[in-house]
Each structure stands twice: as C-alpha cells, then as structure tokens.
C-alpha cells in the first residue's frame, strides 16, 4: 500500500513537471522575443558584442540594420552615417568596408566596448545559433537585394531563420521576387493628423499595401491607439503575420501578447520575456 502511494505521488509529480515544461515551451514559442539591434540597452547597437549578449539573454531572434557600402558589402548600422555610433563621421554608402572597419563602434556606449568594429551581414549570420532567427532590416533601397541573396546563399542558416523587414515597399517587392524562399514583413509607423485627429495609414490602406507588395506580414510600430483586436483580426483574416516593435514596458508586452502578436522586438529581451503572462 505504502509503495502504491509512493508510485502514485511520483506519477503525479512527473505529470505536473511535464505540464510545467509544456507551458514553458508554449510560452517560449507564443511570442518570439527579438532583440532590437542586439542587446542594445547594454551593449553598442548592431555590433557582434550586442548580438552575442542577446543570445545570452535568451532572445529567440535578433534584429539588425543593414546598408550597402561603396564597395558593395552589406554592413550592420542603423544610420546612413557613422556620426552617432563611431569615432569619425563617414557616409556609409560613400565608404569602403576597409574604411568603415577602421572606426571604433563601441566607445560611444562604454569603455568596456572600445574597439568594437562594424560587422558585415555574413559575420552576424555566422553567430545565429541553430533554431534562432534574424530580422534583417534593410535601411537602403532594393539595390542591396542581389548581394543579400548572395550572402544568404553562402550562409549555413536555413531560409526560415532569416527574415527581411523594411519600410521601403520596393525592398519587400524585390526580396519576394529575387529570394522568394525567405519571408519579408513590411514595417510601418503611424501619424495622427492634427486636422482630423485620425491615424494614418488606416488599416484599409495597410491591407491594400501589404497585398500589393506581397508581404508575408506586418511589423508594426507599437501604437496601442490603432493596433487593437479588430486591427489584428483583419490581418489574420488575410493570413498575414503580426509583429510589433519596440516593446520595452511589461504592460505593452502583455497588451500585444493578448492580441496574439507573433513577435515582440525589444531592447530588454530578458525582462520582456519574464513579463509575459503564463496561460
Ligand atoms: O524592428 C523595426 C525597428 O527596428 C524599426 O525602427 O529605427 O529602430 O530601425 P528602427
Ligand atoms: Ca531597425
């Protein structure tokens, strides 16, 4: 009898353990946590140091910004110039990779990161672990797409791990045309008219655009005034994915979790994951 009770208790414990880890797995995959410019709250944005730190913080994916250099290399940087994040001001499109490599992209953030160099897209792809993702934000125009195709073809990553995001509609069209095996999400923000008080673009305009450019989904600015349950219902009815940036507050994370977002892009990957509600 004693042995029987022990067996029952052990069985109950194992079932509870299974349910618990199933919750963990489910939550880990319900909203992907994407580290914005890497772990950019602590490390210098868009550097290998920031991307490596993002993996340590348990991100499901990283987001980075990309331009074409003068000699046709894809480099990782948010702005069109190096002024804000390096020790010398160069225009990225007018500079060669060798010139950009000489700059220090770490010191502006902290001494600890002094000497951090600008990475190429190939170098960033090389540190994406199996099963993790990268959101490649194209900051220039569609002229980058042939080289993007070339770089992706030499990467060890499979197509489901690499996603292109862009505000420029022409970039989405070029990606779906030249690299159809990878997903592309259109990025949009919203502006409010001072005259009418209405937000633009409207969901109707958004839907027309997404369809016209062949996007796989929308990656929207965090705007709780316009992105609501009806907005998401319209996207889902058209079988489109729904991603959102930048989510740095727990209340925002929970709001977009309730709406069923596919991913949350954040500067604070660990804290935002912890703030999500368990079922
Ligand atoms: O993930 C999209 C988001 O990064 C777009 O804004 O200015 O941070 O590149 P930005
Ligand atoms: Ca970005």
Size of the chain in residues: 279
The span from the CA of 185 to the CA of 188, in Å, is: 10
Q: How many CA atoms lie within 13 A of 190 on its CB side?
A: 22
Give bridge partners of residue 76 from the DSSP assignment. Answer: 66
Cα–Cα distances in angstroms (integers) from residue 27 to residues 95, 184, 241, in the given order: 44, 24, 18
Distance 139 CA to ligand 2 centre (A): 8
Which residue out of 245, 256, 263 has the highest number of ligand 1 atoms within 8 Å of its CB and is therefore the one to mutate? 245
Distance 248 CA to ligand 2 centre (A): 15
The span from the CA of 4 to the CA of 6, in Å, is: 5
The span from the CA of 121 to the CA of 148, in Å, is: 9
- For 197-249, write each residue's pLDDT tens digit: 999 999 999 999 999 999 999 999 999 999 999 999 999 999 999 999 999 99
- For 114-163, write each residue's pLDDT tens digit: 999 999 999 999 999 999 999 999 999 999 999 999 999 999 999 999 99
Closest alpha carbon to 75 in 95, 89, 54, 55 = 95
Say which ligand is closest to the CA of 167.
1
The ligand 1 atom nearest the CA atom of 167: 5
The three-state (H, E, C) secondary structure of 135-184, written as one string = EEEECCCHHHHHHHHHHHHCCCCCHHHEEEEECCHHHHHHHHHHCCCCEE
pLDDT band at residue 4, thresholds of 50, 70 and 90? Answer: low
- For 54-108, write each residue's pLDDT tens digit: 999 999 999 999 999 999 999 999 999 999 999 999 999 999 999 999 999 999 9
pTM above 0.95, yes or no: no
Beta strands in 51-115 (DSSP E): 61-68, 74-76
Given a contact cutoff of 8 angstroms between Cβ atoms, the answer to whether 188 and 215 are in contact is no
- For 100-118, write each residue's pLDDT tens digit: 999 999 999 999 999 999 9
pLDDT at 28 over 90: no
Given a contact cutoff of 8 angstroms between Cβ atoms, the answer to whether 134 and 161 are in contact is yes
Give bridge partners of residue 74 from the DSSP assignment. Answer: 68
Residues 6+ apart with CB under 8 A from 44: 50, 85, 105, 106, 108, 109, 110, 113, 116
Q: Whose CA is nearest to atom 7 of ligand 1?
A: 78
Give bridge partners of residue 241 from the DSSP assignment. Answer: 217
Element (H or E) spanning 130, and its range? none
The span from the CA of 163 to the CA of 218, in Å, is: 12
Pocket residues for ligand 1 (CB within 6 Å)?
A: 36, 63, 65, 78, 137, 165, 187, 219, 245, 265
Given a contact cutoff of 8 angstroms between Cβ atoms, the answer to whether 36 and 238 are in contact is no
Q: Whose CA is nearest to atom 3 of ligand 1?
A: 245
Say which ligand is closest to the CA of 185.
1
């Amino acid at each position: 009898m004693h042995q029987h009770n022990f067996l029952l208790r052990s069985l109950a414990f194992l079932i509870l353990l299974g349910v618990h880890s199933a919750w963990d797995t489910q939550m880990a995959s319900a909203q992907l946590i994407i580290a914005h410019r890497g772990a950019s709250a602590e490390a210098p944005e868009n550097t290998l140091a920031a991307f490596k730190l993002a993996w340590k913080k348990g991100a499901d994916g990283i987001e980075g910004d990309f331009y074409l250099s003068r000699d046709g290399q894809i480099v990782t940087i948010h702005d069109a110039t190096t002024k804000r994040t390096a020790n010398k001001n160069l225009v990225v499109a007018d500079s060669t990779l060798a010139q950009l490599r000489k700059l220090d992209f770490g010191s502006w953030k902290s001494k600890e990161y002094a000497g951090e160099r600008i990475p190429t897209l190939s170098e960033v792809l090389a540190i994406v672990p199996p099963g993790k993702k990268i959101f490649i934000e194209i900051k220039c125009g569609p002229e980058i797409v042939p080289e993007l195709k070339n770089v992706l073809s030499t990467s060890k990553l499979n197509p489901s791990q690499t996603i292109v995001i862009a505000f420029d509609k022409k970039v989405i069209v070029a990606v779906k045309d030249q690299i159809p095996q990878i997903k592309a999400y259109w990025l949009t923000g919203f502006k409010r008219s001072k005259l009418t008080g209405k937000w633009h673009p409207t969901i109707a305009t958004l839907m027309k655009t997404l369809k016209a450019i062949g996007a796989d989904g929308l990656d929207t600015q965090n705007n709780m005034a316009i992105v609501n349950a009806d907005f998401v219902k319209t996207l889902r009815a058209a079988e489109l994915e729904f991603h959102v940036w930048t989510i740095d507050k727990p209340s925002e994370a929970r709001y977009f979790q309730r709406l069923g977002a596919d991913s949350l892009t954040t500067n604070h990957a660990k804290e935002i994951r912890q703030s999500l509600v368990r079922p």
